Structure 1
Amino acid sequence: MSENNLPPVEYIPNFLETTLADKLYKHCQQLAWEQNNIRLMGKTIPVPRLECMYGDEGCNYVYSKSVLLEPLRWTSPLSEVRSRIESQTGYQFNIVLCNRYRTGLDSVGWHNDNEPSMGETPAIAEISLGQERKFQMRPHSGESITDFWLEHGSLLLMKPGCQENWVHQLPKTSRALKERINLTFRPHINGTSS
């Protein structure tokens, strides 16, 4: 695959050292998880994962025109990780959307994160905790798929331009997997962080 066909991302396998990743994973298990419902093709169905969101006040987030998430106040560990990501990447983030994949059957299908609340050409930083899972990306214009195996404590940075030209998914698998928690740090046009 040529360099032009690779997604505009940066993957850092050991962004968080194991002790810190373990501690953050344990903290995240205590977050205010909920199972939301999504409207697809005229039907309301449960989202196949648990979700919650933390962030700056007033940074409400709507996806798929049917799920509204209102930010809870930053916890200290989430705020500390945000600062570390911002310091290393140079991008600013106002919310963190948290996803909890309980088994291999919890998933998210092909999509891009193009909600207007994130502004134009956003960068999104994803921290993976727990079970390693396959994450896939493909361009809008083609069918070639790039696989990433997201490890415990890793960071995947989707750079500006990624959401406009690529889609991504975390596919289902019948393999017996343990839990994975994914933290996606995002900008928001109503954010107050400097």
Structure 2
Amino acid sequence: MQLLLLDQSDVPFDYDPSFLSVEEADWLYDQSLHLDWQQHQIRIFGKTLPVPRLETIYGESGCDYLYSGSVLLQPLPWTDCLRWLNHKIETKTHYRFHIAVGNRYRSGSDSISWHSDDEASMGKDPAISSVSLGATRKFSLKRKQDGSIQYFDLQHGSLLLMRPGCQSTHLHQVPKGK
């Protein structure tokens, strides 16, 4: 896996901009359009609001994912293309993944705010992998200790691996953009 070099020596992640070939990424993008995308509702500061993106989850039965104490995602059975992708990611990273959570950003107005994937349902210090398909989006990673931020672009067909420990030391987001 190609390591993206940052000016901080303790950033626990790897980024491979060419994880998928262009043909594989294009095929997966086309397949992703047929997944069961949902607009969920989240409760924040006493208000119920739509999540600012579409979401889906596939994977092993019983591997539910609850985040922000108000959004429960229950996995649908793996599709053939997601099973293929999961195998490819597990072979590359040497980590096992039981679910695939999809975030679909319909435009630059869709986003995900600063957070860590540290929910109890993910286990202690989980490895999180993220494959990007479609338009390039900015990704931000912020150290919890001092608030320093790194930005980089997630490209079509790329793989971001946040290794165990990243969720306890860093926050991340996909901000709104043009």
Q: TM-score range by the shorter chain?
A: over 0.9
Could you say what secondary structure the match of 2:132 adopts? Answer: strand
- 1:17 is matched with 21
Match of 1:61 among 30, 51, 65: 65
TM-score (norm 2): 0.95
Do structure 1's residue 126 and structure 2's residue 130 form an aligned pair?
yes
Match of 2:169 among 165, 172, 183: 165
TM-score (norm 1): 0.87
User: Once the 2 structures are TM-superposed, how far is the Cα of residue 117 of structure 1 from its aligned partner?
Assistant: 1.3
- 1:110 is matched with 114
CA-atom RMSD in angstroms: 1.0
Do structure 1's residue 155 and structure 2's residue 155 form an aligned pair?
no
Distance 1:85 1:55 in 2: 14
Poorly superposed stretches of 4+, deviation over 6 Å: none
Distance 2:147 2:62 in 1: 38
Identity, in percent, stands at 50
Distance 1:9 1:113 in 2: 14
Q: Which region of structure 1 is more displaced relative to structure 2, 113-122 or 128-137? A: 113-122
User: Once the 2 structures are TM-superposed, how far is the Cα of residue 2 of structure 1 from its aligned partner?
Assistant: 4.3
Tell which has more relative contact order, 1 or 2 (C-alpha 8 A, sep 6+).
Answer: 1
* Structure 2: unaligned runs, 5 residues or longer: 1-5
Q: Deviations over 1:10-37 (max 9, x none)?
A: 0000100000100000000110011000
Aligned residues: 173
Distance 1:3 1:37 in 2: 36
User: Once the 2 structures are TM-superposed, how far is the Cα of residue 143 of structure 1 from its aligned partner?
Assistant: 2.1
- 1:27 is matched with 31
- 2:47 is matched with 43
